[in-house]
Copies of this chain bind each other. A is one copy, B any other.
């Protein structure tokens, strides 16, 4: 069983990359195959319908579509910008939803998010759920919301909050359980 993992931020020192690494460590323990995607490796222009009509999908788009299509589940760790999905991440979803077949349908998805502020991406997550749901992905109800991220990791990137690790592990286990159950049923 293959799980695609991706952070919604391009920034190298993003707390969401740290959260993703933590989640991946628990994911690895479950025996699934992890396909880590870095959005820096898939640069895309902002979506423009005329551009698509003239030139078709950029190469980075259909390459990312193929990576998504090859997985049963997707783990997304994303920041929140201005109370919503980062335009950068939404642009990736918009592009990958285009073309002959969109690869999100039927994927099981789990959402995590970290902010340095107080609300831990709680305002963004319903939006990401809505978009992925419209693309027919099954987003599990459990999620991880990290607020005040500067107190959660020290300057060297070491995790200071044991409860967060417990929470992440629990959510990952549920995510793998649901993904596996739906995969078995499909076979």
Contacts and interface: CB of A to CB of B under 8 A. Distances in A.
Contacts of A95: 87
Nearest to A130: B83
Interface stretch (A70-78, A135-143, A157-165): A135-143
Interface string A147-187: 10000000000000000000000000000011011101100
Which DSSP category, helix, strand, loop or mixed, fits chain A's interface?
mixed
- Interface size class on chain A is 35 or more
Nearest to A119: B122
B87 A93 contact: yes
A49 interface: yes
Contact of A46 (B14, B44, B85, B118): B44
A105 to B, nearest CB: 9
B46 A10 contact: yes
Interface of A: 9-12, 14, 43-44, 46-51, 81-95, 97, 118-120, 122-123, 126-127, 129-142, 145, 147, 177-178, 180-182, 184-185
7 closest A-B pairs by beta carbon, nearest first, are: A87-B91, A181-B185, A87-B90, A11-B49, A133-B141, A83-B134, A10-B48
